Chains A and B, each alone.
Chain A
Amino acid sequence: MGPTWQPVPPPPGTSNTMAAPYPAPAYTPVQVRQTFGQPYPTTSQPSPPYAFGLYPPHSITPTASYTNPPPATMNPAPAPAQEMEPPKKKVDWPISVRHYVQRSFLPANMDPTVTREEMEAKLKETITQANIKDLMFSVDWSTMSLPQEMIREERERSRKLPQEMRQLHIPDNMSPTRPVAYSPPYANSGSKKRKSSDLSESAPWRAGNGGGRLEDRVSFTSDRGQQQQSAQEPAAPATTSAKSKFQKQLEKRQKRFDGGYKSTYRSPSPPPSTGPVVGTCQDLEKRYLRLTAPPIPSKVRPEPVLRQALEHVKRKWKSEQNYNYACDQFKSIRQDLTVQLIRNEFTVEVYEIHARIALEKGDIGEYNQCQTQLKALYQRGLKGRETEFKAYRILYFIYSANRTALNDVLADLTPAEKKDAAIKHALDVRSALALGNYHRFFRLYNDTPKMGAYLMDMFVVRERLAALCNICKAYLPSVPLRFVTEELYFESDSEAAQFILDHAGREVLVEKDDGDVIVKTREACRPFEAARAAAFGRIDIKGQI
């Protein structure tokens, strides 16, 4: 749970409460992130306004700049909320007030139960009051309650009476816009039936909810009224769903504390930035760990360090050839690039090198991850060894017998690309196999550019079996072993003999009087056919007519 707590704006007012020994059952435990479904809350924040409005449409423009403040910003953006409430008389707002307004609209402090209008009204009220009373410069704005907190407190006060009866605690993710009466912890303690009472509470028309006191119903209807009001803002429900789980938890926790305590946030350090992380870590080596919480800048390396790290890993790879080490390092470099949203030619280089190393060591899983990323990166117009990797893609689809993907690749190739040596080779391989021309296929195998041979190695066995099936059916009564060796590009006669022994047994090889070894084709037909079917497995079922 540790890391999830980290980026909460350190609220000194509440720091005690956090540690306070309240009976745990009174709280819904904060879950640790289990999945990467939405990898990093930071990335979901600056999403385009049109994709999922984070706020009701009418407020998109002003908030947009807030949802995406420059990370670790030194000079905060001008507060747009001010533009929205032009002061009646020309007042030079002190910087502390500006900060206060700005803080109010920080996404981390936003409360879905408080609409923007309410907040703006409250802000205006607070500031105007201060101005009138001439307290503008005497008030400590940095500790001033945020408007949403004030509003919540007011609501809380207004329903003080029926409170005990209404331990309404609807999980946020279920009903983000529903104004939730958060009862103080003591009222909740030991209430293990919260869930079932929630259910009945959420349906006020149902008989027998909590005694049905008049006040309950009154305050509830007012709740419902608000609910409907907010429901009319179409984007509101999407608001929370678009927010990351992490952020929801933040809000949830904040609300929980606000419910009972007039917490005043004194936040000298800026709240967690919602833009991409900018790392400060200077280590060359870093172990890869799957993130279960938002990245911490001090553990993320910035690009210049990553460049050095890459060189470092490359050197080590050359001297030590330790794939586990290299893979781990590459994954952490990739992770650091991803969380910082670094997508440039350097990113391409990292993925390319990792792809090659993975290929060399037969780590198809990692290779595929890299290849997928590379495709997207190239599509963005980033430069790299695009043709080389396109050729690998073709070879890979041959291996996986993915016909649809092959067709797509063919469709995507430009005439210039078709002339590229590596791509042309891959295309020739494809066509040779499609036509059953094993003769040409093995010539091509022998002459594979770059690292394509590692990919071809993955299907050369099954193609040898297929070729041997062909040969055994077509030639009678026998073929010399040497013919097989040459035609199927075995390193030596003994390697070819071993291959035949492995798949068809001893009987099919005969040593003649003059010392030449021959393969008895008729006898070898069946075992090779069986071995071939096994090697092609599922793939073989298709394509037969």
Chain B
Amino acid sequence: MDALFSDFADAQREGNGNKLAQTISPAHSDEKLRAIWKSCNAHSVKDVLKHHIHNSSSGKNRLPQEEVKGWVEVFFCYWKAIDDILAVQDSATNGKASHSSWTTVYESWKDLLSALHRGYLSNGFEAWTIPCLYVAGKHLRVFAIKADRERNSNASFDSAAAANFEDDFNPESEQNQKLEDCARQLNRVFNLCLSDRAPIDESRKWGIYYVINLLFKTYFKLNSATLSKNVLKALSAGKGDMPPLIAFPKSQQVTFNYYEGVLHFLEENYVEAERHLTEAWNLCHKGAMANKELILTYLIPCHLLTTHTLPSQKLLEPYPRLQRLFAPLAQCIKKGELHAFDLALQDGEDEFVKRRIYLTLERGRDIALRNLLRKVFIAGGFEEAKEEGAKPVRRSRVSIAEFAAAISLGSQETIDNDEVECLLANMIYKNLMKGYISRERGMVVLSKNGAFPGTGV
């Protein structure tokens, strides 16, 4: 307890928010938590805390009475939460049944967050202390997930179903009860930061991207990514007097860019998506492999659609999982193997759908087709030279039948000419191929200069 409050006093003296936040973190060693917990009992805890907090500041830095009161509440909640955390851990290690569960931990941690919330609203906590909000919010999310997992593994199906008489019965929300509650709490914190009208350098707005990132994570986990749009809307509405993203730590920048990129990605807004994801990629710490992998999961499909380029072997090298994910498809696209592409897509469907990249990758088929048609064009060879020494010109009139043969080569299924024409029309419409179809002659007349833009022929 003494160590805790000497840190607290230091942080208060220095105005060091991160240090302060550490004092209410539950992520300390077991011994440390236990020491804090043991240093007082339920009876005396408030007095002890009051004493410590009161003495942690002196002179003109002395904390105002109101603030002291606020912090006593916060640490009181912290102490109770530790009590619950230790109890859960004990029952896990000893296998002893106990009344405590991650749900109780969640609830007591929620009290802590509320105490902080009140602290800002009515006890005059200063803006530099907002890292505390972040730490509290971060762990609230962790506890919520643990509580949901624990409950789902214990709960029997019947109790959930029988107890619910609401009309809009939704098993999913039943499963994520605490996490949904957590999202609501974080949203409160978001508004707490957003609505602060103090001048910018002492504003809680400096907590904004921290909270947003926590909210994004929670919404994505809840499978309701669309809710993130509301956050972005509220953010852009107050953009004018918001501290710039660039002024936040890189970790927060990367996270925010990543989620904003993915949100654009999900809306098929690939250009914007690519911009944000590239930003995240560039800022990402080079050792943060898991994060880099996540960014690439979306950046690679983006890139495939915007620039028609495939990831190189070298890029994928360090990520075996991405290699498994993308390498087969990339291979097929490169070689123009249409049928193999379909099979590879089918093969990875579950994985792709899970990552929400299936619908995007599916469109890679266009590139595979383009490459196949290009091969047909090249195989067609050159026109007979009209005069000696002239630059050879490729045969630019290709019959539909030739393309049809190429397309059915892989699958060995005959495909009717009208459908081939349809595919060709698509290529032309999407500017992947230049030329026109002559319905009368059953021919495609390709452009003499650059029949397949961007591919060198």
Contact = CB atoms under 8 A, between A and B. Distances in A.
B457 interface: no
Contacts, number: 106
Contact of A440 (B165, B269, B419, B445): B419
A545 B425 contact: no
A46 interface: yes
B222 to A, nearest CB: 13
A474 B268 contact: no
B167 A406 contact: no
Interface stretch (B235-243, B283-291, B432-440): B432-440
Interface in B353-374: 353-354, 356, 358-359, 362-363, 365-366
A435 B426 contact: yes
Contact of A476 (B171, B306, B363, B436): B436
Contacts of A291: none
Nearest to B169: A376
B366 A435 contact: yes
A368 to B, nearest CB: 14
B27 interface: no
A474 B169 contact: no
B429 A436 contact: yes
A435 B425 CA distance: 12
Interface residues of B, number: 47
B263 to A, nearest CB: 10
Q: Which of A341, A404, A438 has the most CB of B within 10 A?
A: A404
A103 B8 CA distance: 56
Contacts of B359: 403, 406-407, 434
A378 to B, nearest CB: 11
B423 interface: yes
A376 B168 contact: yes
B425 A474 contact: yes
Given A403-B266, A476-B437, A437 B423 contact: yes
Contacts of A51: 163
B268 A542 contact: yes
A474 B436 contact: yes
B439 A475 contact: yes
B425 A471 contact: yes
A338 B430 CA distance: 51
Contacts of B312: none
Nearest to B166: A43
Contact of A437 (B161, B426, B430): B426
B270 interface: yes
A325 interface: no
Nearest to B357: A407
B426 A48 contact: no
Interface in A218-273: none
A35 to B, nearest CB: 14
Contacts of B365: 435
A410 interface: yes
B422 interface: yes
A480 interface: yes
B418 to A, nearest CB: 6
Nearest to A431: B362
A83 interface: no
A341 B354 contact: no
A85 to B, nearest CB: 27
Contacts of A338: 167
Contacts of B428: 473-474
Nearest to B159: A48
B65 interface: no
Nearest to B430: A436
A410 B268 CA distance: 17
A47 B169 contact: no
B439 A436 contact: no
B449 interface: no
A401 B424 CA distance: 25
A479 B436 CA distance: 12
Interface string A424-467: 00000001001111111000000000000000000000000000
Contacts of B305: 545
Contacts of A475: 425, 436-439
B55 interface: no
B61 interface: no
B164 interface: yes
A470 B269 CA distance: 22
A43 B165 contact: yes
Interface in A461-513: 469-471, 473-476, 478-480, 483, 487
A380 interface: yes
A255 B354 CA distance: 56
Interface in B288-308: 305-306
A403 B359 CA distance: 8
A379 B426 contact: no
18 contacts: A43-B166, A338-B167, A376-B170, A380-B171, A403-B266, A403-B268, A403-B359, A434-B359, A437-B422, A439-B419, A439-B421, A471-B425, A475-B438, A476-B445, A487-B422, A542-B268, A545-B271, A545-B305
Interface of A: 39, 43, 46-48, 50-51, 276, 338, 341, 376, 379-380, 403-404, 406-408, 410-411, 431, 434-440, 469-471, 473-476, 478-480, 483, 487, 542-543, 545
Minimum-distance CB pairs A-B, first 9: A474-B425, A48-B163, A439-B422, A476-B436, A474-B428, A543-B268, A436-B426, A439-B419, A470-B429
Interface of B: 161, 163-171, 223, 225-226, 266-271, 305-306, 349, 353-354, 356, 358-359, 362-363, 365-366, 418-419, 421-426, 428-430, 436-439, 445
